[in-house]
Amino acid sequence: MGVVKLELKGISKAFGTFYANQDIDLVVESGQIHCLLGENGAGKSTLMNVLYGLYEPTAGQILVDDQLVTFRGPGDAMAAGIGMVHQHFMLVPVFTVAENVALGAEPTTFGGVLSIEETRKKIREISDKYGFDVDPDALVEDLPVGVQQRVEIIKALVREAKVLILDEPTAVLTPQETDELLDIMRQLKAGGTSIVFISHKLREVKAVSDVITVIRRGKVVGDAPPTASATELASMMVGRPVSLSLNKAPAQRKETTFVVENLTVRAANGTNVVDGISFDIAQGEILAVAGVQGNGQTELTEAILGIQDHVTGSVTLDGKQLLGLPVKDVLRSGVGFVPEDRTVDGLVGPFSVAENLVLDLYDQAPFASGISMKPAKVAEHAKAKIEEFDIRTPSAGSAAGTLSGGNQQKVVMARELSRPLRLFIASQPTRGVDVGSIEFLHKRIVAERDVGTPVMIVSTELDEVIELADRIAVLYKGKLVGIVPAGTPRDTLGLMMAGVGPEGGSDD
Amino acid sequence: MSATTTAPKPGSTALPAFRPSMKVPLSLGILALVALVFFGFLGPDQTAEMKISDAGDAVAVPALMIPGQVGGVVFGILLLAMAAYSIYLWTQGERSPKWLPIAFAVVFVFALLVWIVAGARQPSISLAGLVAGSVTLAVPLVFGSLSGVLCERVGVVNIAIEGQLLGGAFTAALVATMTGSPYIGLIAAAAAGAAVSMVLAVFSIKYLVNQIIVGVVLNVLVSGITGFLYGTLMVPNKEQFNTPGRLDILPIPLLSDIPIIGPILFEQSIAGYLMYIAVAVVWFGLFKTRWGLRVRAVGEHPQAADTLGINVNATRFWNVTLGGAIAGIGGAVFTLVTIDTFTKDISGGRGFIALAALIFGRWNPIGAFLASLLFGFAYNLQSIIGIIGTPVPSQFMAMLPYLVTIFAVAGLVGKSRPPAASGIPYVKG
């Protein structure tokens, strides 16, 4: 089995008049881990979809071992030895592992009858070789995300992929799972598989790459060695100098005004998605809630806001019970809330930026009098906020949905921070936001803390948690594993995110 | 806030302990009471005769004689016992086992049958005839629901089953008359069903038109075209265009003499045998072959299939076409087996019942087959009741198949899961 050298020459991919990739050159040497580093929307995934035959390039050539190839579909790419693990797994949830692995390259006997036993055998072989511990007969929908990812890798290996593309593989993993994945990548490399590793997380990229290619706005900015500093890499990604550390002052804790006691949220299937959680936040401090996605964070914040049913326990702000109040009354009590998905809950896409900036205040003075709105006041307000938050929009009247992710997030933040607050809750405050805007949004959050508001941040990005938190609460399967001070080592936090308590005992 | 107090805190709401839904125990209880009161205490006093073998059969089995009122009370108590068990389980926080509603339904239907027969002017029916007739009436439903299974498994909702059945029925009658061979008519019917399906496939897969709308429009279109041709072509020239003749019944020697199951399994026309073969082949194909794995993947997660080099839209197109061909054969049964002429809208809504059967059968060929048999039974019961004469108004009995459909789909299907991508067009990227 020969190893494969992969070369992209002048690849461009246009969607309409928009170029997602423009004139990209890339050489992946055999047996290397080659990282594509770039922000969300920089065009990394598009490029890989071109390479995998899912998109047809508008211009450019792909060479495998110096041979010009054209991929009409993923089948051609696989035949050339290219495998891909997509960011959103391409697994059929109701199929078993073996069925998923077999799909598309099914071993059959006479007449197309499946002989799934052969696939089972191959899965066991690969699983043993790399220590994957995957049961071929498990239903994929019952497997944890980390194991599903291994199924995806097995899928590529069964097809004898010589080049493996991993598209943002660590986004859904705990820090421990991430470390395991990095180990697997090193093992694969040692076994002769080249890896294209797509990421925007500097720490992982530096840990595992042989070569780093930075992409910005669809173009290659340049290559960097893995020894380059995080600040250098970040500056290459953004295209201007970036300061990665926030340098915030220590918290000035005042009175404790926000208290959550024994909060429990029951899901439709009878399980407790939030299970007896108690914590409090003082004025002037940031409590960051860490945890892998789907461990009850969404339900926790929504329960506080009052948009979850079947909630028991107590949530008090300034001594007033919030549970059971209509959402409007909760907001009127001075709660600012940034939802985790701005496009679903944070904005009305077709509404203008100005309208989105007053979604919570449109029926009050000065934006309304009686039943009529006052457009002049709304526009004035919009102008001020666009300036204050540096929202890049063609005009205040542009539809919010047409803005970039970072600017949409700024609109949501600007709205929630433009009233006097007694409590500020932000879920995933910088998800999908470019590094430059992250810096700005983080500063705003700290500024809100410094005026004496209790702040609760929910984030699945451990870097962000460490950056912002004065105290860190870790959720696992709806339970609070523990609350630890800022400065707790990453490894400890990582273990807590996997359910192991800060004292070392298992909480499961 | 004092942490020591155990009194409920303000704002907290009491949450009941988690219990399974009480839908099943409650409805069983009500139905059992209905059965006890109406079939038992208020039941007819004649004795119902249930014949198992017919006069000409090689093997004679004595008929069941069940006194109406006593039988009703006994069945009612049996049903109450089952309902009580279900309620008991519910109080223990447990779900009723799956066999319970099924056993309940079987006993209830039998009690209903005894009640109807014992109350009739002529209190005697042939069970063998009832079952065989049910199968006969179920044949088009089975073909129709198999068509639906093939389409939905691949991610296309086939509302046009009705149109495919009707197109098949019309074409079968026309071609069989013109060629003089019902067998050629049968093949033509499959082609006609496939043609209707291809329209659905092209519009919903290539042009991304809403599948439900295309399906409904196709039903109306086929009804209009066949109605028009029937009126202008077939009615004035019946001899030339609308006397197809019937498919021969091909009994298998010996086997067809077995009581009850003989006529069902071994005394069918070629369409009847094809039905059994189709159910088995589609089931085996879907769950045991490469083709089936790919088909199901396309219906569940088309993007995943695409990334593995499977052509999603081609798979959909050919599956939908194949489904149409199968439904077309089902349509031919109307004009080549059941009766031997085409009349306007002869399918009479059976396509929608087939749709219900496929949902009731949980998108599984065998499930769809069994569900179709149930609906066939309801149709047959309706006509038999008309013949033996009962006090129940015939209009009410005509509602029976549809009532069964509604209850079956709404009440008993529960949380079955359709293919995840059913009804969603696939667009790359």
Question: How do residues A489-499 score in pLDDT, each as one tens digit?
Answer: 988 998 898 88
Which residue of chain B comes nearest to A45, CA vs CA? B429
User: How confident is the model at residue B58, as a pLDDT?
Assistant: 62
Interface of A with B in 137-166 (CB under 8 A): 155
> Which percentage of chain A shows pLDDT scores above 90?
50
User: How confident is the model at residue A505, as a pLDDT?
Assistant: 44
Interface of A with B in 52-71 (CB under 8 A): 52, 54-55
Query: In angstroms, rounded to a whole number, what is the distance separating the alpha carbons of residues A406 and B11?
Result: 37
Q: Given the structure tokens 């899912």, which residue do they identify? A: A54
Higher per-residue pLDDT: A371 or B201: B201
Task: Please report which confidence band the pLDDT of residue B409 belongs to, taking 50, 70 and 90 as the band edges.
Answer: low
**Residue B9 has what DSSP assignment?**
P
Query: In angstroms, rounded to a whole number, what is the distance separating the alpha carbons of residues A487 and B1?
Result: 31
Q: Is B12 on the interface with A (CB under 8 A)?
A: yes
Rounded-to-5 percentages of helix, strand, coil across chain B? 65, 5, 30
Query: In angstroms, rounded to a whole number, what is the distance separating the alpha carbons of residues B109 and B39?
Result: 11
Task: Please report which confidence band the pLDDT of residue B3 belongs to, taking 50, 70 and 90 as the band edges.
Answer: very low
* DSSP alpha helix (H) spans, B119-243: 127-153, 161-179, 182-201, 211-229, 238-241
Query: In angstroms, rounded to a whole number, what is the distance separating the alpha carbons of residues B194 and B151?
Result: 12
Is residue B350 over pLDDT 80?
yes
Which residue of chain B comes nearest to A263, CA vs CA? B12
Task: Please report which confidence band the pLDDT of residue A2 belongs to, taking 50, 70 and 90 as the band edges.
Answer: low
User: What is the average pLDDT value for chain B, to the nearest integer?
Assistant: 86
Lookup: tokens for B106:
């079987």
Q: Is B11 on the interface with A (CB under 8 A)?
A: yes
What's the whole-model pTM score? 0.78
CB of B173 closer than 8 Å to CB of B413: no
> Which percentage of chain A shows pLDDT scores above 70?
98
Is residue A1 over pLDDT 60?
no
* DSSP alpha helix (H) spans, B6-98: 23-34, 68-91
User: How confident is the model at residue B1, as a pLDDT?
Assistant: 37
Chain A positions in Cβ-Cβ contact with residue B428 (cut-off 8 Å): 54
Among candidates B1, B293, B420 on the partner chain, residue whose Cβ is nearest the Cβ of A99 = B293
Q: Is B417 on the interface with A (CB under 8 A)?
A: yes
Query: In angstroms, rounded to a whole number, what is the distance separating the alpha carbons of residues B254 and A423?
Result: 84
- Could you tell me which residues come within 8 angstroms of residue B232 by beta carbon, excluding any fewer than 6 positions away? none
Query: For B346, phi and psi rounded to 5 degrees?
Result: -65, -25
Rounded-to-5 percentages of helix, strand, coil across chain A? 35, 25, 40
Among candidates A103, A270, A324 on the partner chain, residue whose Cβ is nearest the Cβ of B308 = A103
- Could you tell me which residues come within 8 angstroms of residue A373 by beta carbon, excluding any fewer than 6 positions away? A362, A367
Q: Which residues of A156-181 are buried (b: 16+ CB within 10 A; e: fewer)?
A: bbbbebbbbbbbbbbbbbbbbbbbbb
Query: In angstroms, rounded to a whole number, what is the distance separating the alpha carbons of residues A319 and A261?
Result: 13
One DSSP character per residue, A169-208 reads TTTTS-HHHHHHHHHHHHHHHHTT-EEEEEES-HHHHHHH
User: How confident is the model at residue B11, as a pLDDT?
Assistant: 40
User: How confident is the model at residue B116, as a pLDDT?
Assistant: 83
Contact B288 A113 (CB under 8 A): yes
Compute the average pLDDT of residues B311-336: 96
Contact A321 B9 (CB under 8 A): yes
CB of B107 closer than 8 Å to CB of B78: yes
Compute the average pLDDT of residues B348-364: 91
Is residue B13 over pLDDT 70?
no
Chain B positions in Cβ-Cβ contact with residue A316 (cut-off 8 Å): 1
Is residue A370 over pLDDT 60?
yes
Interface of B with A in 236-255 (CB under 8 A): none
Lookup: tokens for B6:
């155990």
Lookup: tokens for B93:
């926080």
User: How confident is the model at residue B7, as a pLDDT?
Assistant: 39
AA identity, residue A239: G
User: How confident is the model at residue A470, as a pLDDT?
Assistant: 94
Q: Given the structure tokens 């087996």, which residue do they identify? A: B337
Contact B11 A321 (CB under 8 A): yes
Query: In angstroms, rounded to a whole number, what is the distance separating the alpha carbons of residues A313 and A315?
Result: 7
User: How confident is the model at residue B413, as a pLDDT?
Assistant: 56
Contact A103 B297 (CB under 8 A): yes
User: What is the average pLDDT value for chain A, to the nearest integer?
Assistant: 88
In Å, how far are A358, A377, A384 from A373, measured between CA atoms?
Answer: 11, 9, 18
Among candidates A91, A111, A310 on the partner chain, residue whose Cβ is nearest the Cβ of B15 = A310
Question: How do residues A419-478 score in pLDDT, each as one tens digit?
Answer: 889 999 999 898 777 777 888 899 999 999 999 999 999 998 888 899 899 999 999 989
Contact B1 A113 (CB under 8 A): no
Query: In angstroms, rounded to a whole number, what is the distance separating the alpha carbons of residues A433 and A424?
Result: 19
Query: In angstroms, rounded to a whole number, what is the distance separating the alpha carbons of residues A38 and A27?
Result: 17
Task: Please report which confidence band the pLDDT of residue B18 belongs to, taking 50, 70 and 90 as the band edges.
Answer: low
Distance from CA of B304 to the nearest CA of A (A): 4
Q: A366 preceded by cis ω (within 30°)?
A: yes
Is residue B417 over pLDDT 50?
yes
User: How confident is the model at residue A431, as a pLDDT?
Assistant: 79
For β-strands A59-64 and A6-15, DSSP reports them as antiparallel
Interface of A with B in 398-417 (CB under 8 A): none
Chain A positions in Cβ-Cβ contact with residue B296 (cut-off 8 Å): 92, 95
Compute the average pLDDT of residues B134-145: 94
Is residue B299 over pLDDT 90?
yes
Chain A positions in Cβ-Cβ contact with residue B7 (cut-off 8 Å): none
Compute the average pLDDT of residues B378-398: 78
Q: Is B306 on the interface with A (CB under 8 A)?
A: yes
Task: Please report which confidence band the pLDDT of residue B418 belongs to, taking 50, 70 and 90 as the band edges.
Answer: confident
Task: Please report which confidence band the pLDDT of residue A371 belongs to, taking 50, 70 and 90 as the band edges.
Answer: confident
Query: Among A181-185, B235-239, B404-408, which stretch is predicted with the lowest mean pLDDT?
Result: B404-408
Which residue of chain B comes nearest to A90, CA vs CA? B304
Distance from CA of B9 to the nearest CA of A (A): 7
Is residue B281 over pLDDT 90?
yes
Pairs from A341-349 (Cβ < 8 Å, separation ≥ 24): A341/A428, A341/A431, A342/A405, A342/A408, A342/A409, A342/A412, A343/A401, A343/A408, A346/A408, A346/A409, A346/A412, A347/A400, A347/A401, A347/A408, A347/A411, A347/A412, A348/A400, A349/A399, A349/A400, A349/A401
Query: In angstroms, rounded to a whole number, what is the distance separating the alpha carbons of residues A85 and A172?
Result: 13
Lookup: tokens for B22:
């009480």
One DSSP character per residue, A356-394 reads HHTTTTTTSTTTEETTEE-HHHHHHHHHHHHHHTT---S
Is residue A153 over pLDDT 90?
yes
CB of A182 closer than 8 Å to CB of A494: no
Distance from CA of B333 to the nearest CA of A (A): 30
Task: Please report which confidence band the pLDDT of residue B172 belongs to, taking 50, 70 and 90 as the band edges.
Answer: very high
Contact B301 A91 (CB under 8 A): yes
User: How confident is the model at residue B288, as a pLDDT?
Assistant: 94
User: How confident is the model at residue B222, as a pLDDT?
Assistant: 97
Query: In angstroms, rounded to a whole number, what is the distance separating the alpha carbons of residues B252 and B337?
Result: 18
Question: How do residues B48-101 score in pLDDT, each as one tens digit?
Answer: 888 877 666 666 777 888 888 888 899 999 999 999 998 898 888 777 787 888
Question: How do residues B190-244 score in pLDDT, each as one tens digit?
Answer: 999 999 999 999 999 999 999 999 999 999 999 999 999 999 999 999 999 999 9
User: How confident is the model at residue B16, as a pLDDT?
Assistant: 45
User: How confident is the model at residue B94, as a pLDDT?
Assistant: 79
CB of B29 closer than 8 Å to CB of B61: no
A-B contacts at Cβ under 8 angstroms = 109
Query: In angstroms, rounded to a whole number, what is the distance separating the alpha carbons of residues A385 and A380?
Result: 9
In Å, how far are B153, B205, B416 from B197, measured between CA atoms?
Answer: 15, 12, 26
Among candidates A93, A102, A114 on the partner chain, residue whose Cβ is nearest the Cβ of B288 = A114
Q: Is B233 on the interface with A (CB under 8 A)?
A: no
Query: Among B280-284, B316-320, B339-343, which stretch is predicted with the lowest mean pLDDT?
Result: B339-343
User: How confident is the model at residue A201, as a pLDDT?
Assistant: 82
Q: Which of A448, A208, A186 is nearest to A334 (CA)?
A: A448
Query: In angstroms, rounded to a whole number, what is the distance separating the alpha carbons of residues A347 and A301?
Result: 17
In Å, how far are A136, A264, B28, B105, B412 from B99, measured between CA atoms?
Answer: 31, 36, 13, 10, 12
Q: Given the structure tokens 């071993």, which residue do they identify? A: A107
Task: Please report which confidence band the pLDDT of residue B415 belongs to, taking 50, 70 and 90 as the band edges.
Answer: low
Is residue B408 over pLDDT 90?
no
Query: In angstroms, rounded to a whole number, what is the distance separating the alpha carbons of residues B107 and B96?
Result: 17
Question: How do residues A85-117 score in pLDDT, each as one tens digit?
Answer: 988 889 999 999 999 999 988 988 888 899 999
Query: In angstroms, rounded to a whole number, what is the distance separating the alpha carbons of residues A141 and A124?
Result: 19
Contact A322 B305 (CB under 8 A): no
Distance from the Cα of residue A313 to its chain's centroid: 30
Contact B311 A73 (CB under 8 A): yes
Compute the average pLDDT of residues B185-194: 97
Q: Is B294 on the interface with A (CB under 8 A)?
A: yes
**Helix or strand or coil: residue A425?**
strand
User: How confident is the model at residue B27, as a pLDDT?
Assistant: 84
CB of A410 closer than 8 Å to CB of A442: no
User: How confident is the model at residue A292, as a pLDDT?
Assistant: 83
Compute the average pLDDT of residues A22-49: 88
Distance from CA of B15 to the nearest CA of A (A): 7
Query: In angstroms, rounded to a whole number, what is the distance separating the alpha carbons of residues B210 and B200?
Result: 10
Is residue A387 over pLDDT 70?
yes
Compute the average pLDDT of residues B22-37: 86
Query: Among A162-176, A350-364, B153-167, which stretch is predicted with the lowest mean pLDDT?
Result: A162-176
User: How confident is the model at residue B12, as a pLDDT?
Assistant: 40
> Which percentage of chain B shows pLDDT scores above 90?
50
Which residue of chain A comes nearest to B421, CA vs CA? A92
User: How confident is the model at residue A283, as a pLDDT?
Assistant: 94
- Tell me which of A78, A97, A103, A140 to substitute to probe the interface with B (most B C-beta atoms closer than 10 Å): A103
Q: Which residues of B164-191 are buried (b: 16+ CB within 10 A; e: fewer)?
A: bbbbbbbbbbbbbbeeeebeebbbbbbe
Distance from CA of B414 to the nearest CA of A (A): 15
Q: Is B314 on the interface with A (CB under 8 A)?
A: no
